[in-house]
Chains A and B, each alone.
Chain A
Amino acid sequence: MDFEIAPEQQDLVDSVRAVLAQECPTALVRDIVENGSTPEQPWKSARELGWTAIDLPESLGGLALGFTALGLVVEQHGCRIAPGPFLATVTQFLPLVCEAGAPEQLARFAQPAGAGELRGALAIDHGRAAEQAPGESLRAWRDGAAWVLEGQRTYVLDGGSADEIAVAARVDAGDGVGLFAVPQSAVKAQRIVALDASRPLAHLRFDRVRVEPERVLGTPGRSARALGRALERAVVAASLECVGACQTLLEMTVEHAKSRRQFDQPIGAFQAIQHKCADMLVQLEKARATGHFAMMALAEDDPRRALAASMAKAAASDCQRLVCKEAIQIHGGMGYTWESDVQLFVKRAKTLEALFGTGAAHRQRIAALLEI
Chain B
Amino acid sequence: MQLHYDAATEAFRAEVRAWLEANQPTPAEMRAEPVKSSAHLTGWSRRWQGRLFDAGLLVPGWPRELGGRSLPPVQQLVFQEEMARFALDRSTNPQGLEIIAPSIRDYGSDFLKEKYLLPTLRAEIAWCLGMSEPGAGSDLAGLSTRAAVHEDHFVVTGQKIWTSGAQHADHCFCFVRTDPAAPKHRGISVLILDMKAPGVRVQPLPALNDRKHVDFNEAFLDGVVVPRDHLVGQLHQGWSISAGSLAHERGMVWLTSARRLDDTLERLRALARETGPDGRRIGESESFRDAVAGLYVDAQAMWFMGYRGFAKFARGQVSPEHSVLKLFGSEITQRATRLATEAQGVDALDVDYQGWTFDDIRGRAPWMRQYLVSYGGTISAGTSEIQRNIIAQRVLGLPRR
A positions within 8 Å CB-CB of B: 1-6, 9, 68, 254, 257-258, 265-266, 268-271, 273-275, 277-279, 281-282, 285-286, 289-290, 292-293, 296-297, 300, 302, 311, 314-315, 318, 360, 363-364, 366-367, 370-372
A1/B74 contact (C-beta < 8 A), A274-B392, A275-B392, A300-B2 known: yes
**Are A286 and B298 within 8 A (Cβ)?**
yes
A269 touches B388 (CB 8 A): no
Q: Which residues of B contact A (CB under 8 A)?
A: 1-5, 9, 74, 77, 269, 272, 283, 286, 288-290, 292-294, 296-298, 300-301, 304-305, 307-308, 310-312, 314-315, 321, 324, 327-328, 385, 387-389, 391-393, 395-401
Q: Which residues of B contact A293 (CB under 8 A)?
A: 3, 300, 304
Closest residue of A by beta carbon distance from B271: A372
Q: Is the CB of B269 within 8 A of A1?
A: no
* Interchain CB contact under 8 A, B1 and A6: yes
- A1 contacts B4, C-beta separation under 8 Å: yes
Bound-state Cα–Cα, A120 to B397, Å: 42
Pairwise interchain contact A318-B305, C-beta atoms closer than 8 A: no
Q: Is the CB of B392 within 8 A of A278?
A: yes
Q: Are A3 and B311 in contact (CB under 8 A)?
A: yes
Contacts beyond the supplied A269-B400, A366-B293, A372-B283: 18 A-B pairs with Cβ under 8 Å? A1-B74, A4-B315, A6-B1, A269-B401, A274-B389, A277-B391, A278-B387, A278-B391, A278-B392, A290-B297, A311-B297, A314-B297, A363-B297, A366-B296, A367-B290, A367-B292, A370-B293, A372-B288
Minimum distance in angstroms from A41 CB to a CB of chain B: 28
Contact A1 B396 (CB under 8 A): no
B304 pairs with A290, CB closer than 8 A: yes
Q: How far is the CB of A240 from the nearest CB of chain B, in Å?
A: 13
Minimum CB–CB distance from B2 to chain A (whole Å) comes to 6
Task: State the Cβ distance, B278 to closest chain A Cβ, in Å.
Answer: 17
Contacts of B400 in A (CB 8 A): 269
Give Cα A360 to B4, complex, Å: 30
CA distance A271 to B383 in the complex (A): 14
Which residues from A are CB-within-8-Å of B401? 265, 269-271
Residue of B nearest to A275 (CB): B388
Nearest chain B CB to A246's CB is how many angstroms away?
14
Q: Judging by beta carbons under 8 Å apart, are A258 and B1 in contact?
A: no
Contacts of B397 in A (CB 8 A): 254, 258
Measured between alpha carbons, how far is A9 from B2 in the docked complex, in Å? Answer: 12
Across the A-B interface, the 8 shortest Cβ-Cβ residue pairs: A274-B392, A4-B311, A289-B304, A363-B293, A367-B289, A278-B388, A278-B391, A366-B293
